[in-house]
Amino acid sequence: MTTTTASVATQPVSQRIAIALKSVSVLYPGHCQALSNVSLEIGAGEFVFIVGASGAGKSTLLKLLTHEESCTSGTIFVEGCDVSGMKVNQIPALRRRVGVVYQNFGLLPDRTVYENVAFAMRVTGAGRREVIRRLPEVLELVGLQSRPDAFPGQLSGGEQQRVAIARALVNRPSLLLADEPTGNLDPETSLGIVELLHDINATGATVLVATHDVAIVDRSARRVLEFADGVLVRDEACGRYGRGVLEDCGEAV
């Protein structure tokens, strides 16, 4: 027993499992089979794209990882926690460890950049001093240190997404989930956002990006999981959006 614990502790980060799904199915009311018998593992520190047509089950997969949706059958482990068997009072602690970013930013329009991020910290229980200490570093990380007093309406789409990413990072999550993070952005701005997600991944966080965006997937040369009608149909270590492995594997955006 002791030997097992010791060998796990000395494994490199990349070999630890951050996410494990075993035979997971999701059947929504109305008999919509959103995910069918999905089994997969994602190592800690990996950067993974989730691709597939609209309705393929990408968002459902991400929602399972924060217990926003629950599976009908199967088991889900997030960083060693059995999410599928989790009690309601354990969900806030899970969500503090997972940052989430969406397509439409979800910022409070009548609050400044600083207030939007501070609000996210306060609702997860951070004290005033902690907010004052953490806020400048997280705004600097996303490149918005000079805009703390701007309102969302005064920012470009790319800047608004950076605020949303800052908000997702305030609790230093070990896992960042992004659901179509470039869906409302032009191609050049999208590449900047993906670069930022790669930078966050380089600090050790596991990053999952659900996307329709061919350009960001093909330029990143990272692992691709493809879903079709709720079934995992492709898992490539260094994939394109479509089929076919990239030759210059490992070269990030």
Ligand X SMILES: Nc1ncnc2c1ncn2[C@@H]1O[C@H](COP(=O)(O)OP(=O)(O)O)[C@@H](O)[C@H]1O
Q: Which residues bind ligand X (CB under 6 A)?
A: 28, 30, 32, 34, 52, 54-60
Residue 54 touches which of Mg ion, ligand X, none (Cβ within 5-8 Å per kind): ligand X
Candidates 50-58, 113-121, 184-192, 240-248; binding stretch for Mg ion (CB under 5 A)? 50-58
**How far apart are CB 201 and ligand X at their closest, in Å?**
21
**How far apart are CB 33 and ligand X at their closest, in Å?**
8
Q: Which residue is nearest to Mg ion (CB)?
A: 59
Residue 163 touches which of Mg ion, ligand X, none (Cβ within 5-8 Å per kind): none
Eight-state DSSP code of residue 14: G
CB 174 within 8 A of CB 152: no
CB atoms within 10 A of CB 224: 26
CB 126 within 8 A of CB 102: no
- d(C-alpha 139, C-alpha 114), whole Å: 8
Comparing CB distances to ligand X, the nearer of 101 and 113 is 101
**How far apart are CB 54 and ligand X at their closest, in Å?**
4
Residue 170 touches which of Mg ion, ligand X, none (Cβ within 5-8 Å per kind): none
Comparing CB distances to Mg ion, the nearer of 59 and 206 is 59
- d(C-alpha 85, C-alpha 99), whole Å: 21
Q: Which of 21, 47, 59, 224 binds Mg ion (CB under 5 A)?
A: 59
Residue 153 touches which of ligand X, Mg ion, none (Cβ within 5-8 Å per kind): none
- d(C-alpha 238, C-alpha 223), whole Å: 5
The reply on whether position 201 binds Mg ion by CB under 5 A is no
Give residue 38's Cα distance to chain centre. 18
- d(C-alpha 85, C-alpha 66), whole Å: 13
- d(C-alpha 163, C-alpha 226), whole Å: 29
Residue 34 touches which of ligand X, Mg ion, none (Cβ within 5-8 Å per kind): ligand X
CB 119 within 8 A of CB 101: no
- Residues of this chain that bind Mg ion (CB under 5 A): 58-59
